[in-house]
Structure 1
Amino acid sequence: MPSRFMQMQEVADELSVSMSQVYHMVRSGELPAIKIGGRGQWRIERAKLEDYIAQKYAETADWVKENPLVGREDDIDPPS
């Protein structure tokens, strides 16, 4: 069973992004996290990360609908 909380490096690895990108997402409030311990280490709850990913899929789907790819021949008749 995976642990409930993930370290920032684990989240960075999971999303294939840099640690600084995860830090920015956390500090901006885009990705919910908690700060724990005497040194204030950040932890991201696995369920919150999954919610974040689902939200990004929905946002991307909306963006794709609003910004269709046009002007390419294969867009009109996609390969089967």
Structure 2
Amino acid sequence: MPDTPRFLTLADVAEVLNTSSAQVYALVRRGDLPAIKIGGRGQWRVESSKLEDYIARMYQQAEDYVAKHPFLEAEAPE
């Protein structure tokens, strides 16, 4: 992400993940996605590298799930 700013708003993160800002807020509040609060109004910001780490973790979790739960094709009738 060469042109990506260091810190992203929750709306920016939602756009990257193709989800809602509310879902991103939930990820942050649960501690799944590290973020910081800045300013007097306490606006959340997610560091670009933390977002990339989160995405990598989600890929790893998906790989682990697939490995533990293989997709079995139904046997074709003869």
For normalisation by structure 1, the TM-score amounts to: 0.87
Which residue, 2, 26, 29 being the options, matches 2:28?
26
**How does 1:36-55 map onto structure 2 within 5 Å?**
36-55=38-57
1:77 matched to which residue of 2? none
How many pairs does the alignment contain? 74
CA distance in 1, matches of 2:49, 2:75: 41
Would you identify which runs of 4 or more consecutive aligned residues in structure 1 move more than 4 Å? none
- 1:9-42, CA deviations, whole angstroms, 9 ceiling, x for partnerless residues? 0000000011110000000000000000000000
SS in 1 for 2:64: helix
* Unaligned stretches of 5+ residues in structure 2: none
Which deviates further from its counterpart, 31-40 or 63-72? 63-72
CA distance in 2, matches of 1:40, 1:50: 23
**RMSD of aligned C-alpha atoms?**
1.4
Q: Could you tell me the percent identity over the aligned residues?
A: 51
* Unaligned stretches of 5+ residues in structure 1: 75-80
